[in-house]
Structure 1
Protein backbone atom coordinates (compact mmCIF):
# COMPACT_ATOMS: atom_id res chain seq x y z
CA UNK A 1 0.00 0.00 0.00
CA UNK A 2 2.66 2.65 0.79
CA UNK A 3 4.24 2.05 -2.60
CA UNK A 4 0.89 2.38 -4.38
CA UNK A 5 0.27 5.63 -2.53
CA UNK A 6 3.55 6.87 -3.99
CA UNK A 7 2.54 5.72 -7.48
CA UNK A 8 -0.76 7.58 -7.04
CA UNK A 9 1.21 10.80 -6.54
CA UNK A 10 3.14 10.06 -9.73
CA UNK A 11 -0.12 9.50 -11.62
CA UNK A 12 -1.46 12.82 -10.30
CA UNK A 13 0.98 14.55 -12.64
CA UNK A 14 -1.27 13.44 -15.50
CA UNK A 15 -4.52 14.63 -13.87
CA UNK A 16 -6.48 16.88 -16.22
CA UNK A 17 -4.15 16.15 -19.13
CA UNK A 18 -5.22 14.63 -22.44
CA UNK A 19 -3.70 11.41 -23.72
CA UNK A 20 -2.14 12.14 -27.10
CA UNK A 21 -1.01 8.59 -27.71
CA UNK A 22 -0.76 5.22 -25.99
CA UNK A 23 2.15 2.95 -26.86
CA UNK A 24 1.95 -0.66 -25.70
CA UNK A 25 5.44 -2.16 -25.79
CA UNK A 26 4.43 -5.42 -24.13
CA UNK A 27 0.79 -6.53 -24.31
CA UNK A 28 1.39 -9.24 -21.68
CA UNK A 29 0.71 -6.66 -18.96
CA UNK A 30 -2.78 -5.97 -20.32
CA UNK A 31 -5.59 -8.00 -18.79
CA UNK A 32 -8.70 -8.83 -20.82
CA UNK A 33 -7.99 -6.48 -23.72
CA UNK A 34 -5.65 -6.37 -26.72
CA UNK A 35 -3.11 -3.66 -27.40
CA UNK A 36 -5.00 -2.05 -30.32
CA UNK A 37 -8.30 -1.86 -28.44
CA UNK A 38 -6.53 -0.52 -25.35
CA UNK A 39 -4.83 2.22 -27.34
CA UNK A 40 -8.06 3.21 -29.12
CA UNK A 41 -10.06 3.31 -25.88
CA UNK A 42 -7.69 5.77 -24.20
CA UNK A 43 -6.48 7.99 -27.02
CA UNK A 44 -7.68 11.59 -26.52
CA UNK A 45 -9.14 10.80 -23.09
CA UNK A 46 -8.35 13.04 -20.12
CA UNK A 47 -6.93 11.45 -16.99
CA UNK A 48 -8.96 12.31 -13.87
CA UNK A 49 -7.86 12.27 -10.21
CA UNK A 50 -6.46 8.82 -9.30
CA UNK A 51 -7.50 6.99 -6.16
CA UNK A 52 -6.26 3.93 -4.32
CA UNK A 53 -8.01 0.95 -2.74
CA UNK A 54 -5.66 -1.47 -1.06
CA UNK A 55 -2.96 -2.37 -3.58
CA UNK A 56 -5.00 -1.18 -6.58
CA UNK A 57 -4.64 2.19 -8.27
CA UNK A 58 -7.71 3.46 -10.10
CA UNK A 59 -7.41 6.19 -12.73
CA UNK A 60 -10.77 7.35 -14.09
CA UNK A 61 -10.78 9.05 -17.47
CA UNK A 62 -12.95 11.81 -18.87
CA UNK A 63 -14.29 11.88 -22.40
CA UNK A 64 -12.96 14.21 -25.04
CA UNK A 65 -15.48 16.61 -26.59
CA UNK A 66 -18.01 14.86 -28.84
CA UNK A 67 -16.82 11.38 -27.76
CA UNK A 68 -19.51 8.77 -28.20
CA UNK A 69 -18.34 6.05 -25.80
CA UNK A 70 -18.44 6.29 -22.00
CA UNK A 71 -15.02 7.04 -20.49
CA UNK A 72 -13.28 3.93 -19.09
CA UNK A 73 -11.32 3.50 -15.86
CA UNK A 74 -7.77 2.17 -15.64
CA UNK A 75 -7.14 -0.25 -12.79
CA UNK A 76 -3.48 -0.95 -12.15
CA UNK A 77 -2.03 -3.62 -9.88
CA UNK A 78 1.73 -3.46 -9.43
CA UNK A 79 2.58 -6.84 -7.95
CA UNK A 80 6.15 -7.18 -6.69
CA UNK A 81 7.99 -5.20 -9.36
CA UNK A 82 5.58 -2.76 -11.04
CA UNK A 83 5.71 1.02 -10.73
CA UNK A 84 4.81 4.26 -12.48
CA UNK A 85 7.31 6.80 -13.73
CA UNK A 86 6.72 10.34 -15.01
CA UNK A 87 9.32 10.96 -17.71
CA UNK A 88 10.33 13.61 -20.21
CA UNK A 89 9.59 12.80 -23.85
CA UNK A 90 13.27 12.48 -24.67
CA UNK A 91 14.10 10.22 -21.72
CA UNK A 92 15.40 6.87 -22.94
CA UNK A 93 12.91 4.02 -22.78
CA UNK A 94 13.68 1.60 -19.96
CA UNK A 95 13.88 -2.12 -20.82
CA UNK A 96 10.88 -2.78 -18.55
CA UNK A 97 8.66 0.09 -19.71
CA UNK A 98 5.62 -1.90 -20.85
CA UNK A 99 3.02 0.83 -21.53
CA UNK A 100 3.58 4.54 -22.20
CA UNK A 101 0.84 7.18 -21.96
CA UNK A 102 1.95 10.24 -23.91
CA UNK A 103 0.81 13.73 -22.86
CA UNK A 104 1.92 17.14 -24.09
CA UNK A 105 3.74 17.73 -20.77
CA UNK A 106 5.50 14.35 -20.57
CA UNK A 107 4.96 10.60 -20.39
CA UNK A 108 3.47 8.36 -17.75
CA UNK A 109 5.17 4.97 -18.00
CA UNK A 110 4.08 1.68 -16.50
CA UNK A 111 7.28 -0.19 -15.69
CA UNK A 112 7.33 -3.82 -14.54
CA UNK A 113 10.10 -6.39 -14.63
CA UNK A 114 8.23 -9.61 -13.79
CA UNK A 115 4.77 -8.83 -15.22
CA UNK A 116 2.96 -10.80 -12.53
CA UNK A 117 -0.07 -8.53 -12.49
CA UNK A 118 -0.86 -5.64 -14.81
CA UNK A 119 -3.45 -3.21 -16.18
CA UNK A 120 -7.20 -3.66 -16.55
CA UNK A 121 -9.54 -1.37 -18.46
CA UNK A 122 -13.08 -1.19 -17.08
CA UNK A 123 -15.59 0.35 -19.47
CA UNK A 124 -18.32 0.80 -16.86
CA UNK A 125 -18.65 0.96 -13.07
CA UNK A 126 -19.94 -2.61 -12.86
CA UNK A 127 -16.61 -3.86 -14.17
CA UNK A 128 -14.74 -1.79 -11.58
CA UNK A 129 -16.96 -3.19 -8.83
CA UNK A 130 -16.41 -6.72 -10.13
CA UNK A 131 -12.62 -6.42 -10.06
CA UNK A 132 -12.65 -5.09 -6.50
CA UNK A 133 -15.52 -7.25 -5.21
CA UNK A 134 -13.36 -9.70 -3.25
CA UNK A 135 -11.40 -7.00 -1.40
CA UNK A 136 -11.98 -6.06 2.20
CA UNK A 137 -11.93 -2.48 3.51
CA UNK A 138 -8.81 -0.44 2.92
CA UNK A 139 -6.38 -0.99 5.80
CA UNK A 140 -5.63 2.73 6.11
CA UNK A 141 -9.29 3.66 6.52
CA UNK A 142 -10.89 0.83 8.49
CA UNK A 143 -12.14 1.77 11.96
CA UNK A 144 -11.29 -0.15 15.12
CA UNK A 145 -14.63 -1.93 15.49
CA UNK A 146 -14.69 -3.31 11.95
CA UNK A 147 -11.00 -4.19 12.20
CA UNK A 148 -11.67 -6.30 15.31
CA UNK A 149 -14.68 -7.99 13.72
CA UNK A 150 -13.03 -8.88 10.43
CA UNK A 151 -9.78 -10.07 11.95
CA UNK A 152 -11.34 -12.37 14.55
CA UNK A 153 -14.30 -13.83 12.66
CA UNK A 154 -12.34 -17.06 12.03
CA UNK A 155 -9.63 -18.87 13.97
CA UNK A 156 -6.36 -18.62 12.02
CA UNK A 157 -2.79 -17.46 12.40
CA UNK A 158 -2.51 -13.72 12.73
CA UNK A 159 -0.03 -12.83 10.03
CA UNK A 160 -1.86 -14.63 7.17
CA UNK A 161 -5.09 -13.01 8.39
CA UNK A 162 -3.55 -9.53 8.17
CA UNK A 163 -2.31 -10.25 4.65
CA UNK A 164 -5.60 -11.72 3.41
CA UNK A 165 -6.87 -9.09 0.97
CA UNK A 166 -10.47 -10.21 1.52
CA UNK A 167 -10.07 -9.31 5.21
CA UNK A 168 -8.08 -6.10 4.81
CA UNK A 169 -7.00 -4.59 1.51
CA UNK A 170 -3.48 -3.27 1.26
CA UNK A 171 -1.14 -5.04 3.66
CA UNK A 172 1.82 -6.92 2.20
CA UNK A 173 4.46 -9.11 3.77
CA UNK A 174 6.82 -6.38 5.02
CA UNK A 175 3.92 -4.21 6.21
CA UNK A 176 2.54 -7.06 8.30
CA UNK A 177 5.93 -7.80 9.90
CA UNK A 178 6.42 -4.12 10.76
CA UNK A 179 2.97 -3.76 12.30
CA UNK A 180 3.26 -6.92 14.38
CA UNK A 181 6.70 -5.93 15.64
CA UNK A 182 5.45 -2.47 16.63
CA UNK A 183 2.44 -4.00 18.39
CA UNK A 184 4.69 -6.58 20.16
CA UNK A 185 2.54 -9.49 18.97
CA UNK A 186 3.90 -12.81 17.72
CA UNK A 187 2.95 -13.46 14.07
CA UNK A 188 2.08 -17.08 14.87
CA UNK A 189 -0.61 -16.14 17.41
CA UNK A 190 -4.14 -17.27 16.65
CA UNK A 191 -6.66 -14.53 15.93
CA UNK A 192 -8.96 -16.24 18.44
CA UNK A 193 -6.41 -15.61 21.24
CA UNK A 194 -6.22 -11.84 20.80
CA UNK A 195 -7.44 -9.74 23.71
CA UNK A 196 -9.21 -6.42 23.33
CA UNK A 197 -5.93 -4.78 24.30
CA UNK A 198 -4.05 -6.71 21.61
CA UNK A 199 -6.58 -5.70 18.96
CA UNK A 200 -6.59 -2.07 20.01
CA UNK A 201 -2.79 -1.90 19.98
CA UNK A 202 -2.61 -3.67 16.63
CA UNK A 203 -5.09 -1.25 15.03
CA UNK A 204 -3.34 1.83 16.45
CA UNK A 205 0.10 0.66 15.34
CA UNK A 206 -1.20 -0.24 11.89
CA UNK A 207 -2.76 3.19 11.42
CA UNK A 208 0.34 5.01 12.64
CA UNK A 209 2.76 2.90 10.60
CA UNK A 210 0.69 3.36 7.45
CA UNK A 211 0.35 7.10 8.07
CA UNK A 212 4.13 7.51 8.01
CA UNK A 213 4.76 4.97 5.24
CA UNK A 214 2.06 6.31 2.91
CA UNK A 215 3.48 9.81 3.28
CA UNK A 216 6.92 8.45 2.36
CA UNK A 217 5.58 6.32 -0.51
CA UNK A 218 7.36 3.27 0.90
CA UNK A 219 8.00 1.47 4.17
CA UNK A 220 10.87 3.44 5.73
CA UNK A 221 14.05 1.48 6.36
CA UNK A 222 15.56 3.70 9.04
CA UNK A 223 17.36 2.38 12.10
CA UNK A 224 14.23 2.52 14.28
CA UNK A 225 12.18 0.41 11.85
CA UNK A 226 12.25 -3.38 11.72
CA UNK A 227 12.35 -3.08 7.93
CA UNK A 228 15.70 -1.33 8.16
CA UNK A 229 17.27 -4.50 9.57
CA UNK A 230 15.77 -7.15 7.27
CA UNK A 231 18.86 -7.59 5.10
CA UNK A 232 21.57 -7.21 7.72
CA UNK A 233 23.81 -10.29 8.17
CA UNK A 234 23.51 -10.01 11.97
CA UNK A 235 19.89 -8.96 12.30
CA UNK A 236 19.14 -7.30 15.65
CA UNK A 237 15.92 -5.90 17.05
CA UNK A 238 16.05 -2.08 16.91
CA UNK A 239 14.12 -1.96 20.19
CA UNK A 240 15.90 -4.49 22.44
CA UNK A 241 18.96 -5.56 20.37
CA UNK A 242 18.02 -9.25 20.59
CA UNK A 243 18.74 -11.44 17.58
CA UNK A 244 15.84 -11.41 15.17
CA UNK A 245 14.36 -14.67 13.93
CA UNK A 246 13.15 -15.51 10.46
CA UNK A 247 10.69 -18.28 9.64
CA UNK A 248 8.00 -19.03 7.09
CA UNK A 249 4.38 -18.42 8.01
CA UNK A 250 1.67 -18.97 5.46
CA UNK A 251 4.34 -19.48 2.83
CA UNK A 252 5.92 -16.06 3.42
CA UNK A 253 9.26 -15.16 4.96
CA UNK A 254 8.57 -13.60 8.36
CA UNK A 255 10.91 -11.53 10.53
CA UNK A 256 10.19 -10.98 14.22
CA UNK A 257 11.83 -10.50 17.62
CA UNK A 258 11.33 -13.50 19.95
CA UNK A 259 11.87 -11.25 22.98
CA UNK A 260 9.56 -8.35 22.04
CA UNK A 261 7.06 -10.69 20.38
CA UNK A 262 6.95 -13.82 22.58
CA UNK A 263 4.85 -16.74 21.40
Structure 2
Protein backbone atom coordinates (compact mmCIF):
# COMPACT_ATOMS: atom_id res chain seq x y z
CA UNK A 1 0.00 0.00 0.00
CA UNK A 2 0.93 3.68 0.03
CA UNK A 3 4.05 4.25 2.09
CA UNK A 4 3.72 7.07 4.65
CA UNK A 5 6.91 8.79 3.54
CA UNK A 6 5.48 9.13 0.01
CA UNK A 7 2.14 10.66 0.94
CA UNK A 8 3.01 14.32 0.81
CA UNK A 9 6.42 14.37 -0.82
CA UNK A 10 6.69 14.92 -4.56
CA UNK A 11 9.79 13.27 -5.92
CA UNK A 12 12.20 16.00 -7.03
CA UNK A 13 12.84 14.17 -10.31
CA UNK A 14 9.27 13.04 -10.97
CA UNK A 15 7.74 15.85 -13.00
CA UNK A 16 10.48 16.13 -15.57
CA UNK A 17 9.89 17.16 -19.17
CA UNK A 18 8.84 14.16 -21.26
CA UNK A 19 7.93 13.79 -24.92
CA UNK A 20 4.64 15.78 -24.68
CA UNK A 21 6.37 18.65 -22.85
CA UNK A 22 9.15 18.82 -25.44
CA UNK A 23 6.59 18.74 -28.23
CA UNK A 24 4.96 21.69 -26.49
CA UNK A 25 8.32 23.49 -26.34
CA UNK A 26 8.70 22.84 -30.07
CA UNK A 27 5.38 24.60 -30.64
CA UNK A 28 6.54 27.51 -28.48
CA UNK A 29 9.71 27.80 -30.51
CA UNK A 30 7.86 27.59 -33.83
CA UNK A 31 5.42 30.29 -32.74
CA UNK A 32 8.12 32.55 -31.35
CA UNK A 33 11.01 32.10 -33.75
CA UNK A 34 10.29 30.10 -36.90
CA UNK A 35 11.71 31.83 -39.98
CA UNK A 36 12.61 34.79 -37.79
CA UNK A 37 16.03 36.29 -37.18
CA UNK A 38 17.97 36.08 -33.92
CA UNK A 39 18.97 39.66 -33.21
CA UNK A 40 20.62 39.14 -29.82
CA UNK A 41 21.73 36.38 -27.47
CA UNK A 42 22.12 36.91 -23.74
CA UNK A 43 23.61 34.10 -21.65
CA UNK A 44 22.73 34.85 -18.06
CA UNK A 45 24.16 31.59 -16.76
CA UNK A 46 26.78 29.67 -18.75
CA UNK A 47 26.13 26.65 -16.53
CA UNK A 48 23.48 25.49 -19.01
CA UNK A 49 25.81 25.59 -22.02
CA UNK A 50 27.19 22.27 -23.22
CA UNK A 51 30.32 22.29 -25.37
CA UNK A 52 29.90 25.89 -26.45
CA UNK A 53 30.91 29.22 -24.94
CA UNK A 54 28.58 32.16 -24.53
CA UNK A 55 30.68 34.09 -27.05
CA UNK A 56 30.46 31.38 -29.69
CA UNK A 57 26.72 30.88 -29.12
CA UNK A 58 26.16 34.58 -29.74
CA UNK A 59 28.52 34.70 -32.72
CA UNK A 60 26.89 31.70 -34.42
CA UNK A 61 23.27 32.70 -33.83
CA UNK A 62 23.01 36.47 -34.13
CA UNK A 63 21.91 37.37 -37.65
CA UNK A 64 20.67 33.86 -38.50
CA UNK A 65 17.09 32.73 -38.97
CA UNK A 66 15.69 29.77 -37.08
CA UNK A 67 14.38 26.95 -39.23
CA UNK A 68 11.83 24.19 -38.77
CA UNK A 69 12.31 22.69 -35.33
CA UNK A 70 12.13 18.92 -34.96
CA UNK A 71 12.14 16.59 -32.00
CA UNK A 72 13.42 13.10 -31.26
CA UNK A 73 12.40 11.79 -27.86
CA UNK A 74 13.26 14.47 -25.32
CA UNK A 75 15.71 16.31 -27.62
CA UNK A 76 14.77 19.40 -29.62
CA UNK A 77 16.73 20.42 -32.74
CA UNK A 78 16.50 23.81 -34.47
CA UNK A 79 18.48 24.32 -37.69
CA UNK A 80 19.71 27.78 -38.64
CA UNK A 81 20.03 29.25 -42.13
CA UNK A 82 23.07 29.94 -44.33
CA UNK A 83 24.79 26.71 -43.37
CA UNK A 84 24.82 27.56 -39.69
CA UNK A 85 24.85 25.01 -36.87
CA UNK A 86 21.81 23.39 -35.35
CA UNK A 87 20.68 24.72 -32.00
CA UNK A 88 20.03 21.75 -29.70
CA UNK A 89 18.04 21.75 -26.47
CA UNK A 90 17.69 19.10 -23.79
CA UNK A 91 15.48 20.10 -20.88
CA UNK A 92 16.81 17.78 -18.19
CA UNK A 93 14.56 17.73 -15.15
CA UNK A 94 13.40 21.33 -14.93
CA UNK A 95 14.01 23.03 -18.28
CA UNK A 96 11.43 24.80 -20.43
CA UNK A 97 11.10 27.30 -23.26
CA UNK A 98 9.02 30.46 -22.91
CA UNK A 99 8.05 33.05 -25.51
CA UNK A 100 7.90 36.43 -23.79
CA UNK A 101 7.68 40.12 -24.49
CA UNK A 102 11.09 41.79 -23.92
CA UNK A 103 9.57 44.00 -21.24
CA UNK A 104 8.30 41.00 -19.27
CA UNK A 105 10.28 40.63 -16.03
CA UNK A 106 13.15 38.17 -16.27
CA UNK A 107 12.81 35.25 -13.87
CA UNK A 108 15.65 34.04 -11.65
CA UNK A 109 15.96 30.79 -13.61
CA UNK A 110 15.92 32.32 -17.10
CA UNK A 111 19.38 31.17 -18.22
CA UNK A 112 19.55 32.00 -21.95
CA UNK A 113 17.56 34.69 -23.77
CA UNK A 114 17.29 34.86 -27.55
CA UNK A 115 15.88 38.10 -28.91
CA UNK A 116 13.83 37.33 -32.02
CA UNK A 117 13.41 40.11 -34.60
CA UNK A 118 13.96 42.59 -31.79
CA UNK A 119 10.37 42.13 -30.68
CA UNK A 120 10.19 39.03 -28.50
CA UNK A 121 12.25 36.83 -26.21
CA UNK A 122 12.70 33.09 -26.45
CA UNK A 123 13.78 32.21 -22.92
CA UNK A 124 15.34 28.97 -21.71
CA UNK A 125 14.31 28.57 -18.09
CA UNK A 126 15.92 25.87 -15.95
CA UNK A 127 16.26 25.57 -12.21
CA UNK A 128 18.60 22.59 -11.84
CA UNK A 129 20.75 23.01 -14.98
CA UNK A 130 21.33 19.30 -15.55
CA UNK A 131 21.31 19.59 -19.35
CA UNK A 132 20.83 22.67 -21.50
CA UNK A 133 21.86 24.23 -24.79
CA UNK A 134 24.45 23.24 -27.38
CA UNK A 135 25.33 23.76 -31.03
CA UNK A 136 25.75 20.76 -33.30
CA UNK A 137 26.75 19.89 -36.83
CA UNK A 138 25.39 16.88 -38.73
CA UNK A 139 27.97 14.55 -37.20
CA UNK A 140 27.10 15.58 -33.66
CA UNK A 141 23.37 15.28 -34.35
CA UNK A 142 23.93 11.77 -35.69
CA UNK A 143 25.90 10.88 -32.58
CA UNK A 144 23.05 12.07 -30.34
CA UNK A 145 20.28 10.32 -32.25
CA UNK A 146 22.26 7.10 -32.73
CA UNK A 147 22.22 6.68 -28.96
CA UNK A 148 18.44 6.88 -28.86
CA UNK A 149 15.77 4.34 -29.59
CA UNK A 150 12.92 5.14 -31.99
CA UNK A 151 10.68 8.03 -31.00
CA UNK A 152 7.75 6.78 -28.93
CA UNK A 153 5.24 8.49 -31.25
CA UNK A 154 6.45 6.50 -34.25
CA UNK A 155 6.86 2.97 -32.82
CA UNK A 156 4.59 0.42 -34.52
CA UNK A 157 3.37 -2.69 -32.70
CA UNK A 158 5.80 -5.21 -34.31
CA UNK A 159 8.80 -2.97 -33.58
CA UNK A 160 7.56 -2.38 -30.05
CA UNK A 161 7.37 -6.13 -29.45
CA UNK A 162 10.90 -6.57 -30.75
CA UNK A 163 12.24 -3.74 -28.59
CA UNK A 164 10.91 -5.32 -25.38
CA UNK A 165 11.42 -9.01 -26.10
CA UNK A 166 14.34 -10.66 -24.35
CA UNK A 167 14.93 -7.82 -21.88
CA UNK A 168 15.34 -9.05 -18.32
CA UNK A 169 14.80 -5.70 -16.65
CA UNK A 170 11.45 -4.51 -15.33
CA UNK A 171 9.10 -3.27 -18.03
CA UNK A 172 8.92 0.13 -16.29
CA UNK A 173 12.71 0.48 -16.57
CA UNK A 174 12.69 -0.68 -20.20
CA UNK A 175 10.06 1.89 -21.16
CA UNK A 176 12.07 4.69 -19.55
CA UNK A 177 15.36 3.65 -21.17
CA UNK A 178 15.94 6.26 -23.89
CA UNK A 179 18.14 3.85 -25.84
CA UNK A 180 15.15 1.50 -26.13
CA UNK A 181 12.31 3.97 -26.76
CA UNK A 182 12.93 7.71 -26.82
CA UNK A 183 10.59 10.11 -25.09
CA UNK A 184 8.95 8.23 -22.23
CA UNK A 185 9.59 9.31 -18.66
CA UNK A 186 8.31 8.48 -15.22
CA UNK A 187 4.75 9.79 -15.41
CA UNK A 188 4.09 8.46 -18.90
CA UNK A 189 5.41 5.00 -18.05
CA UNK A 190 3.28 4.70 -14.92
CA UNK A 191 0.18 5.88 -16.77
CA UNK A 192 0.77 3.51 -19.70
CA UNK A 193 1.29 0.46 -17.48
CA UNK A 194 -1.75 1.30 -15.35
CA UNK A 195 -3.92 1.49 -18.46
CA UNK A 196 -2.47 -1.79 -19.73
CA UNK A 197 -3.01 -3.54 -16.40
CA UNK A 198 0.66 -4.57 -16.22
CA UNK A 199 2.67 -4.49 -12.95
CA UNK A 200 5.69 -2.19 -13.34
CA UNK A 201 8.16 -4.76 -11.98
CA UNK A 202 7.25 -7.45 -14.53
CA UNK A 203 10.36 -8.42 -16.52
CA UNK A 204 9.83 -7.17 -20.06
CA UNK A 205 10.71 -10.57 -21.51
CA UNK A 206 7.91 -12.19 -19.48
CA UNK A 207 5.14 -10.12 -21.02
CA UNK A 208 2.61 -12.08 -23.03
CA UNK A 209 1.65 -11.07 -26.56
CA UNK A 210 -1.62 -9.72 -25.19
CA UNK A 211 0.15 -7.65 -22.55
CA UNK A 212 2.57 -6.21 -25.09
CA UNK A 213 -0.35 -5.20 -27.30
CA UNK A 214 -2.08 -3.56 -24.35
CA UNK A 215 1.07 -1.63 -23.36
CA UNK A 216 1.58 -0.45 -26.94
CA UNK A 217 -2.06 0.59 -27.29
CA UNK A 218 -1.93 2.37 -23.93
CA UNK A 219 1.20 4.22 -24.99
CA UNK A 220 -0.53 5.46 -28.13
CA UNK A 221 -3.61 6.69 -26.30
CA UNK A 222 -1.67 8.38 -23.49
CA UNK A 223 0.70 10.11 -25.91
CA UNK A 224 -2.10 11.29 -28.17
CA UNK A 225 -3.86 13.09 -25.32
CA UNK A 226 -0.65 14.29 -23.65
CA UNK A 227 0.80 15.82 -26.81
CA UNK A 228 -2.35 17.89 -27.28
CA UNK A 229 -2.10 19.03 -23.64
CA UNK A 230 1.65 19.70 -23.89
CA UNK A 231 2.24 17.65 -20.73
CA UNK A 232 1.05 14.53 -18.95
CA UNK A 233 -2.28 15.96 -17.76
CA UNK A 234 -3.23 15.38 -14.10
CA UNK A 235 -6.77 14.36 -15.00
CA UNK A 236 -8.81 12.82 -12.20
CA UNK A 237 -9.69 9.92 -14.51
CA UNK A 238 -5.94 9.21 -14.93
CA UNK A 239 -3.53 7.62 -12.50
CA UNK A 240 -1.46 10.79 -12.91
CA UNK A 241 -4.28 12.82 -11.40
CA UNK A 242 -4.09 10.92 -8.10
CA UNK A 243 -0.41 10.19 -7.46
CA UNK A 244 0.05 13.28 -5.29
CA UNK A 245 -3.16 12.90 -3.28
CA UNK A 246 -2.71 12.51 0.48
CA UNK A 247 -4.52 9.14 0.32
CA UNK A 248 -4.36 8.24 -3.38
CA UNK A 249 -6.94 5.82 -4.71
CA UNK A 250 -7.17 4.16 -8.10
CA UNK A 251 -9.59 6.11 -10.31
CA UNK A 252 -10.66 2.85 -11.95
CA UNK A 253 -11.36 0.51 -9.02
CA UNK A 254 -11.04 2.73 -5.94
CA UNK A 255 -8.29 0.59 -4.38
CA UNK A 256 -5.44 2.36 -2.51
CA UNK A 257 -2.48 2.94 -4.80
CA UNK A 258 1.00 1.62 -4.07
CA UNK A 259 4.20 3.64 -4.27
CA UNK A 260 7.76 2.38 -4.32
CA UNK A 261 10.90 2.70 -6.40
CA UNK A 262 11.50 0.78 -9.60
CA UNK A 263 14.76 1.33 -11.41
CA UNK A 264 15.56 4.12 -8.96
CA UNK A 265 12.42 6.09 -9.78
CA UNK A 266 9.29 6.62 -7.72
CA UNK A 267 6.64 4.37 -9.20
CA UNK A 268 2.89 4.38 -8.59
CA UNK A 269 0.54 1.54 -9.47
CA UNK A 270 -2.71 -0.14 -8.51
CA UNK A 271 -2.27 -3.59 -6.95
CA UNK A 272 -5.76 -4.57 -8.04
CA UNK A 273 -5.76 -3.37 -11.64
CA UNK A 274 -2.13 -4.32 -12.27
CA UNK A 275 -1.93 -7.88 -10.98
State the TM-score bracket (shorter-chain normalisation). over 0.9
> Is the aligned partner of 1:149 residue 2:162?
yes
TM-score of the two chains, using structure 1 as the length reference: 0.95
Q: Which residue matches 1:81?
A: 94
Contact 2:167 2:203 in 1 (8 A): no
Please show how residues 110-189 of structure 1 align to structure 2 within 5 Å.
110-122=124-136, 124-189=137-202
1:156 to partner: Cα distance: 1.6
Q: Which residue matches 1:38?
A: 57
SS at match of 2:251: coil
SS at match of 2:84: coil
Q: Deviations over 1:170-216 (max 9, x none)?
A: 00011100000010100011112111111111101101100100111
C-alpha distance in 2, partners of 1:31/1:169?
21
1:103 to partner: Cα distance: 1.3
SS at match of 1:62: coil
1:259 to partner: Cα distance: 0.1
C-alpha distance in 2, partners of 1:131/1:101?
24
219, 223, 234: which one pairs with 1:210?
223
Q: Which residue matches 2:122?
A: 108
Q: Which residue matches 2:21?
A: 3
257, 264, 272: which one pairs with 1:244?
257
Unaligned runs of 5+ residues in structure 2 are 1-18
> Is the aligned partner of 1:201 residue 2:227?
no
1:153 to partner: Cα distance: 3.2
Q: Which residue matches 1:53?
A: 72
Q: Which residue matches 1:221?
A: 234
C-alpha distance in 1, partners of 2:188/2:221?
12
- Tell me which of the two structures has the higher relative contact order, counting C-alpha pairs closer than 8 angstroms and 6 or more residues apart: 2
Contact 2:236 2:242 in 1 (8 A): yes
1:71 to partner: Cα distance: 1.0
1:132 to partner: Cα distance: 2.0
Q: Which residue matches 1:15?
A: 34
Unaligned runs of 5+ residues in structure 1 are 64-69
TM-score of the two chains, using structure 2 as the length reference: 0.91
Segments of 4+ moved more than 3 angstroms:
none
Q: Which residue matches 1:66?
A: none
SS at match of 2:38: coil
C-alpha distance in 2, partners of 1:125/1:106?
29
1:144 to partner: Cα distance: 0.7
1:151 to partner: Cα distance: 1.1
1:154 to partner: Cα distance: 2.2
Q: CA RMSD in A?
A: 0.8
1:79 to partner: Cα distance: 1.0
